Amino acid sequence: MKIILTKDSLGNYLLIFFSTILYVLSFPKVSWSFLAWVAFFPLFKALDNKPARKRFRLGYLAGILSSLGIFYWVTHAMHYYGGLDSITSFSILFLMVLYLAIYFGVFAWLWGLFPPQGLFSLIWVPSIWVGLEFLRSHLLTGFPWELLGHSQYNFLPVIQLSEFTGVYGISFLIILVNQSLFRVFGCDRAFQGWSRKWKETALTLSLLTFALIFGFWSLSNQKQKDQQAPTLNVAVIQGNIDQSLKWNPVFQEETIRIYQDLTLKILTKAPELVVWPETAAPFYFLNENHLTPLLFQLAQETRAHLLFGSPAVAYRQGKIQFYNRAYLLSSKGRLSYYDKVHLVPFGEYVPLRRLLPFVGKMVQAIGDFSPGPGSYGLSHPKGKIGVLICFETIFPELSRAFKQEGCRILVNMTNDAWYGRTSAPYQHLSMLTFRAVENRVWIARAANTGFSAFIDSSGRIVKEVPLFQRGAIYANIPLRGEKTFYTRYGDISVVFCGIIFLVGIIFWVSKRKGGKGHERRNYSS
């Protein structure tokens, strides 16, 4: 990407830099969510009156800077725990950033196909963004980590809309507000009268007002529904096991002792379900003669169901396969399990291993996992439990599948020790709040080093154990069985955005073929 510094281009680059600063700060750790509502204003100002190629280059630059600001922690996980050298770790991050930046570049290019006037182009711009987010969430196994709407996890009234639209509806609203602000304060006033600008902005204000009114009403309504539902007393244990010791065979017995002690201490709360983190039992549970009986004994002592993570090995399809598994052990010794479906690329399996052999070191400690057969709930006497292992939380279709099956509680077990004290543990927790709102279900989260937490049906983080501390929390969780609009119909709002996008493209192509220039100045050239 060739960069030529002139007075005009320097101003554009400063606008891009300012825009990405606002964008990154709206996400965790900082979590200044209000900044997202103005973060795109400088970007739009830089893109204004630019030809198509220039728009793409500026958008691509914004995507690179934004992705570096949000995903910098990838190098930490790869270097300190994956065993890769610094150069290789950063190279992989940079390749990832170059890929993610494409979505920004395409958005910037499409942004200028229509001049900033008229109601259609007003809703067309956020529809583009939503479509690109959806594409990013599904292309190449999908990576919907920190979509724009996720920045609002702590703005509870506005995220209640996710019950109908998922996180994409929040992203749509944010881009809509940014676009409206740009039209009112950023465009050439001679291009469009103030009366017309305010008429278009009225649509944005109406939608935002509706979202907030619904949000405040919903917060009160969900609280009443929670009070009317049957409950399950759940305890969550955070062992805070150092990642450098976690897979050391010498430390396995000490690990189980730590979790055992924390579990026994919380028995005064009479838990009916005790949750340990992902791979809390760092051995092959069904193949271990020494430590396996300790867990059966603990479940019997607690008189509760024990839900814990442990790797598993099986001989299937003519070869040995490894699984990242969650076991549910009853006090009577009955055992059921769920195998993780959506594995972490370069963390639990290596795609294109023959082409990227150096990345294989990242999974040497825990093996190269195979995906489970599908999403299915685990049975508890009080209702089904849907288990999300690690970053399965960022894929809303998995949570929907559990709720559609009849699960009344979701459990996330994870090990975020890989990320240290970077932004990643904060980001991971923040995205989980949307799964609660989308399906109106409580979520219990057990994380090795944090954050372990309880999230209510409104997306509120009710309790949590701080990062890198050992502890246990409990909550009397409402078990709600109703299915929301989003649970039933999923991302139908994205279909609406897709239709708007296609109509816009057809209209733009027809105008170009007809030789009728409809764009202001350089808007598509």
User: E-strand spans in 331-470?
Assistant: 335-339, 378-380, 383-389, 407-414, 443-447, 452-455, 461-465
| Exposed e or buried b per residue across 39-64, where buried means at least 16 C-beta atoms within 10 angstroms of its C-beta | bbbbbbbbbbebebebbbbbbbbbbb
Give the DSSP H or E segment for 305: strand 305-316
CA distance 476 to 455: 12
Q: Helical H runs in 272-349?
A: 292-302
SS3 (DSSP) at 443: strand
CA distance 499 to 129: 13
List the catalytic residues: 278, 340, 390
Residue with tokens 């409104």: 458
Give the DSSP H or E segment for 236: strand 231-238
CB count in 10 Å sphere of residue 449: 28
- List 323's β-bridge partners, or say none: 312
- According to DSSP, residue 423 is labeled S
CA distance 31 to 35: 9
- List 251's β-bridge partners, or say none: none
| DSSP conformation letters of 56-122 | HHHHHHHHHHHHHHHHTHHHHIIIIIT---HHHHHHHHHHHHHHHHHHHHHHHHHHTTS-S-SHHHH
| Cβ-proximal residues to 459 (8 Å cutoff; 6+ apart), any chain | 153, 156, 159, 160, 162, 433, 434, 436, 437
Contact 27/70 with Cβ under 8 angstroms?
A: yes
CA distance 148 to 153: 10
Query: What end-to-end distance do the CA atoms of the chain give, in Å?
Result: 19
| Cβ-proximal residues to 515 (8 Å cutoff; 6+ apart), any chain | none
- List 338's β-bridge partners, or say none: 326
The structure tokens listed for 226 are 């929670």
Strand order in the sheet with 383-389: 378-380, 383-389, 407-414, 443-447, 452-455, 461-465
